[in-house]
Amino acid sequence: MLGGMIEVTSLTKQFGDKKAVDNLSFTVKPGIVTGFLGPNGAGKSTTMRMILGLDTPTSGSALIEGKPYRELKQPLRSVGALLDAKWVHPNRSARAHLQWMAASNGLPKSRVDEVLRLVGLSDVAKQKAGGFSLGMSQRLGLAGALLGDPKVLLFDEPVNGLDPEGIVWIRKFMHKLASEGRTVLVSSHLLSEMALTAEHLVVIGRGRLISDSSVDQFVDQASEASVRVRSPQLDALRSALTSSGLTVREPSRVDEVQPALVVVNSTTEAIGDIAGRNGIVLHELSSHHGSLEEAFMKLTGDDVQYHGEGANDVMGGALR
Ligand X SMILES: Nc1ncnc2c1ncn2[C@@H]1O[C@H](COP(=O)(O)OP(=O)(O)OP(=O)(O)O)[C@@H](O)[C@H]1O
Contact 150, 75 (CB under 8 A): no
Q: Does 171 bind ligand X (CB under 6 A)?
A: no
In whole angstroms, how close is the CB of 294 to ligand X at the nearest point?
Answer: 21
CA distance 255 to 15: 53
Residue 152 in contact with ligand X, rule: CB under 6 A: no
Q: Does 45 bind ligand X (CB under 6 A)?
A: yes
In sign, the C-alpha dihedral spanning 103, 109, 111, 115 is positive
Comparing CB distances to ligand X, the nearer of 255 and 306 is 306
Contact call for residue 160 and ligand X (CB under 6 A): no
Q: Would you count residue 42 as binding ligand X (CB under 6 A)?
A: yes
**Cβ closest to ligand X, residue 146 vs residue 210:** 210
**99 Cβ neighbours under 8 A, 6+ residues apart:** 109, 112
The torsion of the CA quartet 52, 53, 55, 61, rounded to 10 degrees, works out to 90
Pick between residue 44 and residue 139 the one whose CB is nearest to ligand X. Answer: 44
User: Does 158 sit near ligand X (CB under 6 A)?
Assistant: no
d(CA 278, CA 291): 33
Which of helix, strand or coil describes residue 172? helix
Binding residues for ligand X, rule CB under 6 A, total 12
Return the amino acid letter for 44: K
Minimum distance, C-beta of residue 307 to ligand X, in the bound complex (Å):
14
d(CA 22, CA 42): 10
Q: How many helices (H) and strands (E) does the chain have?
A: 11, 13
- Pick the piece of the chain touching ligand X (CB under 6 A) from 41-49, 69-77, 82-90, 249-257: 41-49
Running DSSP on this structure, what letter comes out for residue 42? S
Taking CB under 6 A as the rule, does residue 41 contact ligand X? yes
Tell me the window of 25-33, 40-48, 140-148, 232-240 that interacts with ligand X (CB under 6 A).
40-48
126 touches ligand X (CB under 6 A): no
Tell me how far apart the alpha carbons of residues 6 and 186 are, in angstroms, rounded to a whole number. 13
Residue 97 or residue 206: which is nearer to ligand X going by CB? Answer: 206
- Residue pair 29/182 in contact (Cβ under 8 Å)? The answer is no
Give the footprint of ligand X on residues 180-209 (CB under 6 A).
189
Output 8 or 20, the one with its CB closest to ligand X: 20
| Smallest distance, ligand X to C-beta of residue 15, A | 3
Using CB under 6 A as the binding rule, whether residue 40 contacts ligand X is answered as yes
Q: Using CA atoms, how far apart are residues 82 and 139, in angstroms rounded to an integer? A: 10
Q: What is the DSSP letter of 67?
A: B
User: Quick one: which of 44, 111, 139, 228 contacts ligand X (CB under 6 A)?
Assistant: 44
Stretch that binds ligand X, among 35-43, 219-227, 239-247, 293-301 (CB under 6 A): 35-43
Q: Which is nearer to ligand X, 99 or 300 (CB)?
A: 300
**Residues 88/97, Cβ–Cβ less than 8 Å:** yes
Per-residue x/- track, 9-28, ligand X (CB under 6 A): ------x--x-x--------
Which position among 30, 35, 43, 80 is part of the footprint of ligand X (CB under 6 A)?
A: 43
Q: Region of 191 please: left (phi>0), alpha (psi -120 to 50) or beta.
A: alpha
Q: Are 78 and 64 in contact (CB under 8 A)?
A: yes
| Stretch of 39-47, 100-108, 123-131, 245-253 contacting ligand X, by CB under 6 A | 39-47
Residues in touch with ligand X (CB under 6 A): 15, 18, 20, 38, 40-46, 189
